[in-house]
Amino acid sequence: MKKVILVCGARPNFMKVSPVIKAMAKAGRLTPYLVHTGQHYDEKMSKSFFDLLHIPKPDVDLGVGSGTHAEQTAKVMVEFEKVCQREKPDLVVVVGDVNSTMACTIAAKKLWVPVAHVEAGLRSWDMKMPEEVNRVVTDSLCDLFFTTDPDANENLARMGAPADRVHFAGNVMIDTLLDNVKLSQGNPILETLGVKPQGYAFLTMHRPSNVDDKAVLGGLLGAFEHIQKRLPIVFPAHPRTMKMIREFGFGPRFDAMAGLKVCEPLDYHQMLKLNQNARFALTDSGGLQEETTVLGIPCITMRNNTERPVTVTVGTSEVVGNDPAKIIDAAERILAGKWKKGGIPEGWDGKAGERIVAVLQGFLA
């Protein structure tokens, strides 16, 4: 049996690792060893992800915690190197684009351990995004690349990745979504928040480009003020977003929005139930662009770019930036029934984890 270390650094990583672990268990030829770096950690939220997604408890938690990007990356590299030296894995699998993804790739490669990247080749072409730096560095070092759409394959070809190492696997996030759509139906979150299907907008917002600039954040709040008068907005508020709202003095204005239903961060089934029943989504998240595409929910992407262009060309997303007027216009078009229907990208069929494991077995053979 070959030992494969799988790395999780943040909650979305668990959703991407879960289908791979399940496929390994089914195939029976690889031994998974799950490393949680502790880059993002919330005891309540992390436990809920393990329970809901049926992910085994991590074999090791590095507990690196928060810090600057450099501090966090350095801590992960130091601690992960120890894990690799002790466990002597045959392969390391990293997912996504968080600091842990890049840090563990660097540490493993310096020990001559091959690395596979799930969600390889995604590009926003915006080097001001920390995630873009992580993507570029990770893909420059990896031995195997698993992509979610044809654009990613083209990006990897341009950077010189060997064609026989690039595999269009589909989207593991969608594996997890399809496994959990029915399971989330019984969740009472809509009743708890007092909203009805198709009777609210679903908002997530956390990126520094939106919440760290006072003028930008003020403009976004202006857009939400308009929209929440048309229909309620459900907002599971990221702690950092709330911190900046208060620091910039927007607290009274934020609290005055009667149609804004603010709640604490939610577990995966709660988020999924809200997402699939929303009239539309407003987000600066990458994952939500993908989920709304598969669920057929209109998505207003409040960013100037996206590393997931297939959600725009094929799916239900439209990138509008953080201009309040454009956000309001997009919301009004949705409410008037003038939004595209969208489709489901190729390979987003719930079998990405199985395809990935089949390639890993061949590679390690």
Chain centre distance of CA 285: 7
Long-range contacts of 307-311 (CB under 8 A, 24+ apart): 307/97, 307/122, 307/123, 307/124, 307/131, 307/132, 307/135, 308/122, 308/148, 308/149, 309/149, 309/151, 310/148, 310/149, 310/150, 310/151, 310/345, 311/345
The model's pLDDT over 272-328, given as tens digits with 9 standing for 90+, comes to: 999 999 999 999 999 999 999 999 999 999 999 999 999 999 999 999 999 999 999
Name the maximum alpha-carbon separation found in the chain: 61
Contacts by residues 20-23 (CB-CB < 8 Å, ≥ 24 positions apart): 20/93, 20/118, 20/172, 20/353, 20/356, 20/357, 21/55, 21/56, 22/54, 22/353, 23/353, 23/354, 23/356, 23/357
How much is the pLDDT for 55?
Answer: 82
Which DSSP state fits 164?
G
- Which one of the listed residues 69, 206, 226, 269 is annotated catalytic? 206
Q: Which residues pair with 61 in a beta bridge?
A: 36
The whole-number pLDDT of residue 179 equals: 95
**What's domain 186-335's superfamily in CATH?**
Glycogen Phosphorylase B; (3.40.50.2000)
The C-alpha atoms of residue 268 and residue 179 are separated, in whole angstroms, by 12
Residues 6 or more apart in contact with residue 148 via CB below 8 angstroms: 119, 122, 169, 170, 171, 308, 310, 345, 347, 348, 352
Intervals of the chain under pLDDT 70:
41-48
CA distance linking residue 279 with residue 65, whole number of Å: 36
Joined tokens for residue 255 = 């609290």
For position 5, what pLDDT does the model report? 98
Is 186-335 the same fold as 2-170+349-364?
A: yes
Among 292, 274, 275, 233, CA closest to 257: 233
Q: What is the pLDDT of residue 47?
A: 62
Position 43 scores a pLDDT of: 57
As a whole number of angstroms, the distance between CA 349 and CA 102 comes to 28
Provide the pLDDT for residue 110. 98
pTM beyond 0.85: the answer is yes
**pLDDT for position 65:** 86
Given this structure, which CATH class describes domain 2-170+349-364? Answer: alpha beta
Using CA atoms, how far residue 153 sits from 96, 146, 159, 161, in Å, is: 15, 9, 10, 9
Sign, CA dihedral 224-228-229-230, equals positive
pLDDT of 39 reads 76
Domain ranges of the chain: 2-170+349-364, 186-335
Active site residue 206: yes
Reading the block at residue 91, the tokens are 């392969």
